[in-house]
Amino acid sequence: MVEVSVRNVKKSFGATEVLRGVDVLVPAGGFAVLVGPSGCGKSTLLRLLAGLEEVSAGTIHFGEREVTHLEPRERDIAMVFQSYALYPHLSVRDNLAFGLRLRKTDDAVIRQRVDEVAGMLGLGALLDRLPKALSGGQRQRVAMGRAIVRRPALFLFDEPLSNLDAALRAQVRVDIRRLHDQLGATSVYVTHDQVEAMTLADVMFVLNRGVVEQAGAPLTVYDAPATRFVAGFLGSPAMNFVQGVIEASGDQLRVRVGVGDESLPIPAGEFTSPALIPGLRVDVGVRPHDLVLAPPGAAAFELSVDYVELLGPEIQAHGALAGAPIVAALETQSNARKGDRIPLSVKRLQLFDAESGRSLR
């Protein structure tokens, strides 16, 4: 169990700058998730932690120990690859034992540890099979087992669930978090899937174009996104954005959206940025689940519905406001139909500086 500390790490491949000064701190025993769109640098950061790539600048510490320039084998880590990377010519047992054998572990200890891990992951009946005779889910478990059996100080996961079907993915996600809680080692997990990020993480790092846009507990990041990018990246369906201008109305600030005179009140005390002054151009963000059917007269605006998705537990009504597409996630009983104009109120909104994309909280 080690604390992972990445300080101002940069990484370039030729002229391409993939990481542009990244700081990451994962407390010992914590589960950190690096999340972001493809090309954001999250996998590169993981490979730097593993020692599979050299940093261009900056340092990496595991606990007190600086590992920046150490070989992978000197870092006391285990990694689960997206492709699982099982050794095709070795049986499941030998795959599990591979790392221990390299470290000249005693045969009796190897046997005992392999059996223990096989029991933990339900691999007992598969020990003598070759990887090609396993299903995708079984391979994934062998890859997990191969990491666990070595009892490393740090687990690295590179999108380990992306080759599984949806049902299995949800199951294994729970298993991974349970194993983490059981084993207690620090974990760093890379994914582009926000559901995995939200559900697994103690601390989440949202990366975009080589920088950490925001770090924090998943719910904090979800509820108070620091940038427009983070707000748009997390949540499904994605947050709605409408351009607007801040205006004063008495002693209260409101945000006027679009060309009409529709305007929304800005809750007092919630947005405290000194930049928030009348005339400022902003992006207003509202999550689909924060749009609710309003009682007559209390609506913030009316949405003319041009498309409806029936999901069972909820209805997603699509329309537009001031030229921007809007999705509202409504209760199924609301019975919204195509062609309806439905009155909506806003439970909660986000404001971002239109220039910088920074939150105005």
Contact residues for another protein (CB under 8 A)?
50-52, 71-73, 77-79, 81-83, 85, 87-89, 98-99, 102-103, 146, 150, 156
Q: CB of 339: closest distance to another protein in angstroms?
A: 49
Output 93 or 287, the one with its CB closest to another protein.
93
Phi, psi for residue 101 in degrees, rounded to 5: -60, -45
Output 98 or 137, the one with its CB closest to another protein.
98
Output 103 or 347, the one with its CB closest to another protein.
103
**From the CB of residue 196, how many other CB atoms can be counted at a distance below 10 Å?**
24
Q: CB of 43: closest distance to another protein in angstroms?
A: 12
Output 96 or 360, the one with its CB closest to another protein.
96
Q: CB of 83: closest distance to another protein in angstroms?
A: 5
Output 156 or 349, the one with its CB closest to another protein.
156
Q: CB of 103: closest distance to another protein in angstroms?
A: 5
Q: Are 99 and 149 in contact (CB under 8 A)?
A: yes
CA angle 11, 16, 18 (to 5 degrees): 40
Output 85 or 293, the one with its CB closest to another protein.
85
N- to C-terminal Cα separation, the chain: 36
39: left (phi over 0), alpha (psi -120 to 50) or beta: left
Q: Are 165 and 139 in contact (CB under 8 A)?
A: no
Q: How many residues in the chain? A: 361
Q: CB of 69: closest distance to another protein in angstroms?
A: 15
Instruction: Please give the Cα distance from 296 to 345 (Å, whole number).
Output: 10
203-226 in b/e form (b: 16+ CB < 10 A) is: bbbbbbebebbbbbebeebbeebb
Q: CB of 87: closest distance to another protein in angstroms?
A: 6
Lookup result for tokens 């049986």: 91
- Can you read off the two tokens belonging to residue 317? 């009504």
